[in-house]
Amino acid sequence: MQDWSIAVMNLTDRREQRLQSYKKIQSEQEIYECVLAPTLYEFVVWVLQEALQSGTKRLYFLARDGYQMYLAARKLCKQYDLDIECRYLKVSRYAVRVPEYHLLGERCLERICVGGIDVTFEKIMQRAALTDKEAGEIAALAGYTENYRKVINYHEVMQLKDRLKKIPLLFHYIDSHSKEAYGTAIGYLTQEGLLEPVPYALVDSGWIGTIQQSIEHLLRQRQPDRKLEGYYFGLYEIPEGEERENYHSFYFTPWGEIKRKVHFSNSLFEAVFSAPEGMTLSYRAEGEKDKISYVPVTDSRENLNRERINRYICWLEEFLQEKKQSLPQADSGYVEELLSPFMGNPTQFEAEAYGSLLFSDDVREDDNQKVSADFSEQEIKNHHLLNRLLIMTGIRKRVLHESAWIEGSIATCRTLNERGRARNRWHAVFYKYIIYIRKWIKQRQKIKRQKIKRQENDSFEKE
């Protein structure tokens, strides 16, 4: 095996080389090759370095955000003769949450009743895996028959969650569908080696880490002591009750890197670094009793960005062909210098090129829309902090439409001049800083509570 640790390319030279080429970008391909491919490359290099240092022998790249990462890691492992096995695990939040619900009881609503873009009662019932008939019954009991498809904001989602807690029939339906899905889900995970005594870790884009927790819950029904580790591009938070040492992050963590979060779009990241196929919905068993295999059931709808993603994969392979030197030291600071201007302050060309990718932030991936929504000036102004608060509290009677990449929406708004774009970007940045500082404070308080609880437990054990 090649000793990558003593062959580190000069980071300053590598960074300057890419930054200079970035200034000359004139096409979608050049953006990918000069900004996005280097971003993915640095992350994958970091994952491989972490795996080598920790003795991890197998990496599971999670569908679909992990697909291009998987392709890069597999090539780099072969090129540098690294003793790491790379596998692609066909999962999705929906495919592992549904079989998990019956293990959570009432807490399953924490997975189901969450905010997002254009959330409706219908979407919430789809997250719960209810049939249309069952969902109609629950709508009647919850008083949502007339507002079945009405878009509701985060505050209304939380109010709905409280109502749903009082409907036993809902939990009966959820429990039934969940138990039915569990057998094939654990069969697939077992078939793919997740119960084997091999040191392994999950690799994914990240954000809140619940998919790792869901998989762990499923595996613990067979191996109660099973603990999983995950390597992520970025994490805004980790699930309640989880240990932070099992969640590793490259670009930003729940405990800092606020500036990086402000100038980042996780929706754009997911839209770019995806796979061509549709999402995994569930699993089915095939074959005879002694030779049963478990097959992922994917959405009949292919990824709506399929053709473009296939081009990205070709460009990624070309980019990796250039990497002949020894495996370098990963540099998240270099990624920030590339990614922050692109995502946080895009040119009109950049926003039009990548903002047109289609995206859905819901676990069922219905109602796809452009990553950077086509907003009017007024719709952009509605996102200023004061206007947003007035609309969300009902004081101002307007509909607050969300954009997954608000900076892209600002850049492509035809009626804004450069000064207007700069002013609206300032408001977007200000709002994001408020959000992420608030989350940072909550994370600090959470850590403090956990520390106090551990101290109390240690004192109790000593007594």
pLDDT value at residue 241: 83
Distances, alpha carbon 136 to alpha carbons 148, 173, 330, in Å = 8, 12, 51
Largest CA distance in the chain: 70
Q: Counting beta carbons within 10 angstroms of the beta carbon of residue 156, is it exposed (0 to 12), middle (13 to 18) or buried (19 or more)?
A: middle
The overall average pLDDT reported for the chain is 88
Beta-carbon contacts of residue 95 (< 8 Å; ≥ 6 apart): 185, 279, 280, 281, 282, 283, 296
**DSSP SS3 for 394:** coil
Terminal-residue alpha carbon distance, the chain: 51
pLDDT value at residue 324: 62
pLDDT value at residue 325: 67
Identity (one letter) of the amino acid at 413?
C
pLDDT value at residue 118: 80
How many Cα atoms occupy the beta-carbon half-sphere of 62 within 13 Å?
A: 27
> What parts of the chain have a pLDDT lower than 50?
1-12, 14-15, 18
Strand partners, 285: 294
pLDDT value at residue 8: 36
Kindly state the tokens that stand for 200: 């392994």
pLDDT value at residue 403: 87
Residue 284 CA, distance from chain mean position = 25
* pLDDT tens sequence across 21-35: 555 667 999 999 999
Distances, alpha carbon 313 to alpha carbons 63, 204, 269, in Å = 15, 17, 14
- pTM of the prediction? 0.88
What's the rounded Cα separation, in Å, for the pair 328 and 4? 7
If residue 356 lies in a helix (H) or strand (E), which one and from where to where? Answer: none
pLDDT value at residue 463: 57
Q: Which residues of 233-259 are buried (b: 16+ CB within 10 A; e: fewer)?
A: bbbbbbeeebebebbbbbbbbbeebeb
Question: Which is nearest to 60 in space by CA: 78, 45, 43, 47?
Answer: 47
Q: Angle at CA 341, nearest 5°, toward 336 and 344? A: 100
What's the rounded Cα separation, in Å, for the pair 127 and 418? 41
pLDDT value at residue 4: 38
Kindly state the tokens that stand for 245: 């040492």
**Ordered DSSP codes for 200-268:** EEEEEEEES-HHHHHHHHHHTTT-TT----EEEEEES---TT--GGGEEEEEE-TTS-HHHHHT--HHH
